[in-house]
């Protein structure tokens, strides 16, 4: 499982020019699944995303989590996080989970996030999405779980 987190003051997901997900002050979470991933890793991934201290405290130090600031998350499924570009000019995605498995893992990831009583917005799985964001900091963190 690979996750790219971005600390944002605003993030919007559009599909066919319609807003399907929108947040302010929180995390934009891009998540990709490997063929070898299992449901067991999802609990750890949720805890890591929600408890990672990457938001500033009153002294300007990254000391708060998205939960601490009562922020929101926008979660986007992105199999391209598994692009292998070592050979040639065309990325290889053979390590990514097949769409059926990835969708199951993505849906369960979303359900676990929602159980944490945090506002969760999403894109649409496998859709052509346009993402707008204002990255604060900028802060971008890559997680390999």
Residue positions annotated with a catalytic role: 80
40 Rama class: left (phi>0) / alpha (psi -120 to 50) / beta: alpha
CA distances to 15, 20, 48, 87, 129 from 142, rounded to whole Å, are: 25, 24, 12, 22, 21
122, two tokens: 């999403």
């Amino acid at each position: 499982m690979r996750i790219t987190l971005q600390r944002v003051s605003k993030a919007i997901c559009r599909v066919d020019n319609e807003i399907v997900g929108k947040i302010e002050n929180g995390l934009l979470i891009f998540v990709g699944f490997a063929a070898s991933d299992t449901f067991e890793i999802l609990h750890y991934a949720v805890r890591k995303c929600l408890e990672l201290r990457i938001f500033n405290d009153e002294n300007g130090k990254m000391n708060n989590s998205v939960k601490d600031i009562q922020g929101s998350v926008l979660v986007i499924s992105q199999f391209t996080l598994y692009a292998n570009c070592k050979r040639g000019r065309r990325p290889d995605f053979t390590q990514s989970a097949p769409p059926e498995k990835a969708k199951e893992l993505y849906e369960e990831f979303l359900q676990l996030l929602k159980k944490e009583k945090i506002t969760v917005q999403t894109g649409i799985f496998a859709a052509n999405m346009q993402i707008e964001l204002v990255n604060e900091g900028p802060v971008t963190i890559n997680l390999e779980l």
